[in-house]
């Protein structure tokens, strides 16, 4: 299989040929890795460990740059890499962490075990940004965050709940025994369509004392420390029972109103927690509460709401999963 070498690369290679007497430089392989190369790299790292990638590439007999070897190992060959679609929990976490850190893919990936920065970056660009584009919304805008908060986050939470109600005990999603709303889990119904008033944020959130800055951890909830999040397999559940959460349309707000989530390790990590409230309330652009209320009056149109709701399965890869209707 051949790989088209871009002009810039051709220039680089030419430069190397001119500047280097090392004939091997011109034999460097590019493009997709072969099984043989993967095997060589894996076996070498198994015996000698990773690091010093340029040396490693030579010693392992790979006609690749050290950079290429490193990338292949970290993004594909490393044993703890997870394959397959992102779970709703992971998607939720990406949304949340991105709202906090922006395009700090590596930093985000550190908190999603088994997922690489490249994978998360691709996910964001192909799924999230695509939808933002189709809606003519800036993917980093407040408006988009609002859409995420009011449409997608509740749906993801609902999906997680759905998973938890059907999952075997080996499935590390929501532990229904810990869920304060077993009835909600069993009886919740997917709203057929969000009402036009649905996206209005709860007053509880608007009135909350969450700060708008990115300092995190100093939110209305005392249990949160984003910076303390370390590797985990997330299990997310509501922090406290609410006295009443109506079913149907109100599940949007019900999910939003649930300010805090525990993240519990299923692999022996420290139990930690994080707060989705920043995503529910935080404005990464420093918008004031009055701005938010202004936005409330200028919310997503019914058409857009229709679109958002109907397209969520595509966006978050729910297609093929059991329908809750």
Partner DNA sequence: AACCGAATCAACCGCGTTGTT
Partner DNA sequence: TAACAACGCGGTTGATTCGGT
Q: What are phi and psi of 125, to 5 degrees?
A: -70, -40
Any idea what DSSP says for residue 298? Answer: T
Taking CB under 7 A as the criterion, the residue among 20, 26, 75, 171 binding DNA is 75
User: Least distance in Å: CB of 318 to DNA?
Assistant: 12
Is residue 117 a contact residue for DNA (CB under 7 A)?
yes
Q: What are phi and psi of 260, to 5 degrees?
A: -125, 145
Q: Which of positions 120-139 make contact with DNA (CB under 7 A)?
A: 121-123, 125-127, 130
Q: Which stretch binds DNA (CB under 7 A): 5-13, 191-199, 210-218, 245-253?
A: 5-13
Is residue 3 a contact residue for DNA (CB under 7 A)?
yes
**Among 147, 153, 98, 144, which residue's Cα sits nearest to residue 121?**
98
Is residue 30 a contact residue for DNA (CB under 7 A)?
yes
Is residue 71 a contact residue for DNA (CB under 7 A)?
yes
Which secondary structure element, helix H or strand E, spans residue 235, and what is its range?
none
Is residue 35 a contact residue for DNA (CB under 7 A)?
no
- Dihedral sign (CA 73, 79, 80, 81): positive
Q: 55 vs 294, which CB is nearer to DNA?
A: 55
From residue 181, alpha-carbon distances to 9, 152, 242 in Å are 57, 20, 9
- Give the x/- contact pattern for DNA in 95-114, rule: CB under 7 A: --------xxxxx-------
Is residue 22 a contact residue for DNA (CB under 7 A)?
no
Q: Which of positions 37-56 make contact with DNA (CB under 7 A)?
A: 51-55
Determine the Cα–Cα distance for residues 91 and 246; give it in Å rounded to an integer. 25
From residue 176, alpha-carbon distances to 165, 169, 184, 247, 258 in Å are 7, 10, 11, 18, 16
Is residue 293 a contact residue for DNA (CB under 7 A)?
no
Binding-site ranges for DNA (CB under 7 A): 1, 3-4, 6, 8-9, 12, 29-33, 51-55, 64-68, 70-72, 75-76, 103-107, 117-119, 121-123, 125-127, 130
């Amino acid at each position: 299989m051949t790989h088209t070498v871009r002009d810039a690369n051709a220039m680089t290679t030419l430069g190397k040929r001119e500047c280097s007497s090392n004939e091997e430089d011109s034999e460097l392989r590019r493009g997709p890795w072969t099984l043989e190369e993967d095997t060589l790299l894996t076996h070498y790292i198994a015996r000698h460990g990773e690091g010093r990638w340029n040396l490693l590439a030579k010693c392992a007999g790979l006609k690749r740059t050290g950079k290429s070897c490193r990338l292949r190992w970290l993004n594909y060959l490393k044993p703890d890499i997870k394959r397959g679609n992102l779970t709703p929990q992971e998607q939720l976490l990406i949304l949340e962490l991105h709202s906090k850190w922006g395009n700090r893919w590596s930093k985000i990936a550190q908190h999603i075990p088994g997922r690489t920065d490249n994978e998360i970056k691709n996910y964001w660009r192909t799924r999230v940004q695509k939808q933002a584009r189709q809606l003519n919304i800036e993917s980093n805008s407040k408006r988009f965050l609002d859409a995420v908060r009011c449409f997608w986050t509740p749906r993801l939470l609902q999906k997680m709940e759905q998973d938890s109600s059907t999952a075997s005990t080996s499935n590390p999603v929501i532990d229904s025994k810990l869920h304060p709303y077993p009835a909600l889990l069993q009886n919740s119904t997917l709203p057929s369509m969000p009402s036009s008033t649905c996206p209005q944020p709860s007053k509880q959130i608007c009135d909350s004392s969450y700060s708008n800055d990115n300092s995190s951890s100093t939110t209305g909830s005392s249990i949160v420390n984003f910076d303390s999040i370390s590797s985990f397999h997330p299990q997310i559940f509501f922090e406290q029972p609410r006295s009443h959460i109506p079913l149907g349309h109100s599940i949007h707000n019900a999910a939003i109103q649930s300010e805090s989530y525990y993240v519990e390790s299923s692999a022996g990590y420290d139990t930690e927690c994080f707060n989705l409230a920043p995503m529910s309330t935080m404005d990464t652009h420093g918008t004031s509460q009055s701005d938010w209320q202004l936005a409330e009056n200028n919310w997503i149109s019914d058409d857009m709401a229709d679109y958002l709701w109907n397209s969520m399965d595509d966006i978050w890869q729910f297609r093929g999963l059991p329908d809750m209707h």
